[in-house]
Amino acid sequence: MAPAMVEIHHKLGYLTLFVACISTTSFAHSHADELDEENASKPVDSILWIHIFLQGLIWGILFPVGMVLGISKSKWHVPLQVTGIALTIGGYILGHAHKGRAFLASVHGTMANILLIPIFTQLVLGIYLKLHIHEQTLRPWAVRLHGIVGKSYPVLGWTQMLFGAITFRGYCRGGHLGQCLAHYIMGSGFIAYGTIMAILLLVGEAWVRRSRKSPEWWDSGVIMLWGIVNTFTEHRGSSWSVKDMQHTILGILWWAGGALGLFLARNNQRTVVPALIIILTGWAMSEHAQALMISTRVHALFGYTLELAGFTRIIEICFFVPTFASCSTVSVFPDDTNSDHTLADATPRSPRELYAPTTDHAREAQEEKNAAAKVFRHLPPFLLVSAGILFMSATDEELDFVHDNEMDHVTYILIMFSISFILYLIIVSLINLYATSGRNASSPSTRAHHPGYDEDVMVGDIELRTPLSASAAKWYARVPSRSQTVESRGAEQQHILGEEEEEED
């Protein structure tokens, strides 16, 4: 088949899929506003179970993988996303074709229709980009929009799966809506916090350095904004309950501490204030009074987990300082001369001391410290993810259900930590996929080595095997450790100093 015919075939395939997406709206039916007890207690049929597992697989695994492959410019991005869209259509139909148990009209059904908008948008943009037209006018904007919509898929998928679980159990109606929102939004926020922290610690050093702002500056800003929102939204009615006062003062704590963190993190400095806020929040949550003993135990462990996340973050900042926070005062990196890190070595050194060859003993000590840092740095984000899962599982209705079924708090908490392990596995797997796919993939003939070393280039604890060409550097730039940079540049400086001595002689 001629190349032109192949291209036309691909475009027709996109258009067919687009028409199929539009046609699925005719299958939608409104759920009942009221249900009798018989319909609400019917068993769940196999069609609905297929819908649940299929959509969970698509939005929880397939689309996030496709998003990562798109960021790394992998050739598998388009086939995977097209497959995901096709399966989503099938799952959408199954969700409206099942028999058995009926459900009240819910936000899950509304969200299912809303999700057609980003799906259509992504599909149309994909077709447009395949045409390679308007290269200098509209196409650059289409590329940006395509990336924004694609990166929103994990958030949209998480939200819709959460809505599905709530609808399945019939939760968050009537007087339970407020505490549902508090638990699910805050819990999801902790999970997002842990995910972003994992990205920054594992592969995000280059971005942090380019932003010229330490991670704690971003942490403090988000904490301050969230505190302002919480200060004015947690109290309802005329009377103040104990929980109203606790939640409101937590909001004040966050914006006050966040403001301090922003000030201390100026000029790319490191600070432990965000971690301290996490510790205080965990302590407050562990002391929440609850009606049921199981609820008290779950909230307490949530608080302890959050406290531990804060303590490990302090240790990571103070004793396992990443490269973007340790090199400014000696000006090893030319793009970091404006930094003023509080944890950096501020002792002035002469060029001879700065560029002196690193001893074997010093190199081994640094390698041991780097190895320990690579292991330890997973603790803060994992604990934040675990805390988020625990908090989302601690709503009144969920714990009432667990209590009524006579499950003890130990079993329930271990189930939640099992989910946390699975979720963190997915997170770090996607990060690793980014580092090893597309333009970052390895090839037998192009093994990238750091100048003067026999080891492959490492970014965080992810091995990067592709040569860092000018085009790849802006997507995935190598950030060497301080010891490697000092040693590699030390040889050059020693050579320069040697030439100067010869000239003096």
At 302-327, the pLDDT tens digits run 999 999 999 999 998 888 765 444 43
3-state secondary structure of 104: strand
What's the rounded mean pLDDT across residues 358-382? Answer: 80
Alpha-carbon distances of 77 from 68, 83, 245, rounded to whole Å: 8, 10, 49
pLDDT greater at residue 179 or residue 5: 179
What does the pLDDT read at residue 194? 93
> Assign residue 357 a region: left if phi > 0, alpha if psi is -120 to 50, beta otherwise?
beta
Beta bridge partners of 463: 458
pLDDT greater at residue 28 or residue 226: 226
**Whether residue 296 is found in the same domain as residue 159:** no
**Whether residue 182 is found in the same domain as residue 160:** no
What does the pLDDT read at residue 357? 56
Q: What is the DSSP letter of 481?
A: -
Q: Is the pLDDT of residue 488 over 60?
A: no
Two tokens at 214? 């330490």
pLDDT tens per residue, range 206-242: 888 888 888 899 889 989 998 998 888 776 667 777 7
What does the pLDDT read at residue 180? 87
3-state secondary structure of 350: coil
What does the pLDDT read at residue 6? 37
What does the pLDDT read at residue 338? 35
**Whether residue 216 is found in the same domain as residue 356:** yes
3-state secondary structure 260-292: HHHHHCHHHCCCCHHHHHHHHHHHHHHCCCCCC
Q: Tokens 């302890």 identify what position? A: 304
Closest-CA residue to 214 (of 269, 150, 139, 157): 269
Q: Which helix (H) or strand (E) holds 344?
A: none
| Alpha helix segments (H runs only) across 2-138 | 3-23, 37-40, 46-57, 63-71, 77-95, 107-114, 116-131
Lowest mean pLDDT across 131-135, 277-281, 302-306? 131-135
**329 falls in which pLDDT band (50, 70, 90)?**
very low
What's the rounded mean pLDDT across residues 57-67? Answer: 93
pLDDT tens per residue, range 473-485: 332 233 344 444 4
Q: Which of residues 145, 170, 195 is at a domain's end?
A: 170
3-state secondary structure of 216: helix
Terminal Cα distance for the chain, rounded: 74
Q: Is the pLDDT of residue 416 over 90?
A: yes
Q: What is the DSSP letter of 358?
A: P
Tell me the C-alpha distance between 494 and 348, whole Å. Answer: 19
Q: Is the pLDDT of residue 447 over 70?
A: no
What does the pLDDT read at residue 26? 34
**144 falls in which pLDDT band (50, 70, 90)?**
very high
Report how many domains make up the chain: 2
**Whether residue 221 is found in the same domain as residue 155:** no
Beta bridge partners of 456: 449
Tell me the C-alpha distance between 214 and 328, whole Å. Answer: 12
Q: Tokens 């002196």 identify what position? A: 356
DSSP 114-168: HTHHHHHHHHHHHHHHHHT-STTTTHHHHHHHHHHHHHHHHHHHHHHHHHHHHHH
**Whether residue 197 is found in the same domain as residue 134:** no
Q: Which of residues 170, 187, 216 is at a domain's end?
A: 170
**Whether residue 338 is found in the same domain as residue 230:** yes
Segments forming the whole domain that contains residue 234? 177-505
| Average pLDDT across the chain, whole number | 76
Contact 464, 480 (CB under 8 A): no
Burial (CB < 10 A; 0-12, 13-18, 19+), residue 91, is buried
**10 falls in which pLDDT band (50, 70, 90)?**
very low
What's the rounded mean pLDDT across residues 165-177? Answer: 85
Residue 308 contacts by C-beta under 8 Å, 6 or more apart in sequence? 282, 383
How many residues in total does the chain contain?
Answer: 505
Q: Which helix (H) or strand (E) holds 210?
A: helix 205-211
**Whether residue 136 is found in the same domain as residue 209:** no
Residue 352 contacts by C-beta under 8 Å, 6 or more apart in sequence? 497
What's the rounded mean pLDDT across residues 14-23? Answer: 38
**Whether residue 452 is found in the same domain as residue 318:** yes
Residue 461 contacts by C-beta under 8 Å, 6 or more apart in sequence? 202, 374, 377
What does the pLDDT read at residue 442? 63
Tell me the C-alpha distance between 354 and 242, whole Å. Answer: 58
**Whether residue 253 is found in the same domain as residue 370:** yes
Q: Is the pLDDT of residue 361 over 50?
A: yes
What does the pLDDT read at residue 308? 96
**Whether residue 102 is found in the same domain as residue 153:** yes
Residue 219 contacts by C-beta under 8 Å, 6 or more apart in sequence? 193, 261, 274
Mark 402-436 as b/e (b = at least 16 C-beta within 10 Å): bbeeeeebeebbeebeebbeebbebbbebbbbbbb
Q: Is the pLDDT of residue 456 over 70?
A: no
3-state secondary structure of 450: coil
Lowest mean pLDDT across 30-44, 53-67, 270-284, 356-370? 30-44
Tell me the C-alpha distance between 324 and 346, whole Å. Answer: 15
pLDDT greater at residue 467 or residue 185: 185
**332 falls in which pLDDT band (50, 70, 90)?**
very low
Task: For residue 238, give the amino acid letter.
Answer: S
Tell me the C-alpha distance between 212 and 412, whole Å. Answer: 43
Q: Is the pLDDT of residue 25 over 50?
A: no
Q: Which of residues 170, 187, 219 is at a domain's end?
A: 170
What does the pLDDT read at residue 188? 92
**Whether residue 213 is found in the same domain as residue 72:** no
What percent of the chain has a predicted confidence (pLDDT) above 90? 37
Q: Which helix (H) or strand (E) holds 257?
A: helix 242-264
Tell me the C-alpha distance between 129 and 84, whole Å. Answer: 19
**Whether residue 398 is found in the same domain as residue 433:** yes
What's the rounded mean pLDDT across residues 100-107? Answer: 78
pLDDT greater at residue 470 or residue 349: 349
